[in-house]
Amino acid sequence: MKTTLNLAVRHNLVWHLSVTIARWLLPLLGCWLIYLLVSQGMVLHRWQNLEKERVALTAKVRSEYPAASRPVSAEAIKRQEDEMAFVNTLAAKDRFSWTELLGRLEKALTQGITLTGIEPNTQVGSLQITGLAENVGTLQKYLTSHLHTESLSDIYLLRQEFRKIKVQGGQEQSVVAFRIEIKKAFR
């Protein structure tokens, strides 16, 4: 009896194919693993160098600027925020065209009206005006003149009262003191 080995049997072919694939894949997988380890090591090394540089720069800043290394209290932060808000308010008031507003107020001014105060509120965009009128009819004409101007038409009478004031010569005169508010005065 002659025994022969048939290498073309399916399990022999699968075995041969598996060994061939393993010969090529294992070195490739090994190279890829080495590449990952090296790249991770380089990233870790770079991160450690950056951390050392950060510590050195922090120490340098603290030695050159000792005030910067002190912690800032909540009160100091609040005070600085209040100062910044005040400066921003001043800047908003400075950007506003006062000559234009005063020109519009002058156009609406009628005979017998004296303005005694102008209080702008730039945050809300309103304007409060206090003044004196010779009588109620004069005040009514003044308010009506505001209604006929486009930019100052949203007007409200907040207060009015009769007062006696001294005029030239020491005489007393009865006048109407008023306070009005103009909404949307700043456009």
Q: pLDDT tens for residues 19-56?
A: 888 899 999 999 999 999 999 999 999 999 999 999 99
Measured distance CA(187)–CA(176) in Å, rounded: 30
Q: How many CB atoms lie within 10 A of CB 142?
A: 22
Q: 97-182, what's its fold?
A: Gyrase A; domain 2 (3.30.1360)
Residue 174: its pLDDT value, please? 87
State the pLDDT at residue 144: 84
Q: How confident is the model at residue 187 (pLDDT cuts 50, 70, 90)?
A: low
Report the distance separating Cα 127 and Cα 119, nearest Å: 6
- Cα(25)–Cα(31) distance, rounded to whole angstroms? 10
pLDDT at 131: 92
What is the pTM for the complete model shown?
0.49
pLDDT at 122 over 60: yes
For residue 91, what pLDDT band results from cuts at 50, 70 and 90? confident
Alpha-carbon separation of residue 105 from 6, 26, 143 (angstroms): 114, 90, 11
pLDDT tens-place string over residues 134-181: 899 988 888 888 777 766 667 888 898 988 888 788 888 888 999 999
